[in-house]
Amino acid sequence: MTGTPGGPDDTPGAGTDAAARWRERRREAAGAHAEALAARQRTESARARALIGEFLADVRGGGPTPVPLHVRSYGGRARYRTPLQGWYLRRDETVGVDTDGAFYVLTAPSSLVARFRGVRPAPQDPPLVIGAGGKDGESIDMADALRRVLAGEV
């Protein structure tokens, strides 16, 4: 594309500079978007932790007793023991909360070693909606999941 003599398109490297500025603005926008998403997730996790704290207080006041938590293989065929005690938050036993209030996703790849030694899952930041973004009917609000555990419905 040619411009008028002495115009912006006539300057050597002008197109390259514009492209570089555009890329830098896109990079900054992506960084701001990522930080906003991370901040929202931190806020949601803090709210979910508060719900779990209330749940633990209710359980200690006479709720259901904790059970040994197991990890299931991704395919669901194998079940591995863990050192955890707590409550499953879904009927398929793929997520749970331990007696200290830590949230766990209780799935792992199939493993012969895990069959004998067990699995030590890592705690994760709890979400406000368990299974968000999954298939229809597979997500549940954390508050509803905890309420179902207290009612003995899980």
> What Rg value do the Cα atoms of the chain yield, rounded?
25
What gap in Å lies between CA 39 and CA 20, rounded to an integer?
29
Predicted local distance difference test score (pLDDT) of residue 3? 47
**Which residues on adjacent β-strands are paired with residue 95?**
105
DSSP conformational letter for 124 = B
Indicate the pTM of the whole model.
0.77
CA 83 to chain centre: 22
pLDDT digits (tens, 9 = 90+) for 71-119: 999 988 899 999 999 999 999 899 999 999 999 999 999 988 888 999 9
Predicted local distance difference test score (pLDDT) of residue 126? 96
pLDDT digits (tens, 9 = 90+) for 1-39: 444 454 455 555 567 898 999 999 999 888 888 888 888
For the chain, what are the domain ranges?
37-150
* Token pair for 85: 């005690």
Predicted local distance difference test score (pLDDT) of residue 129? 93
DSSP conformational letter for 39 = H
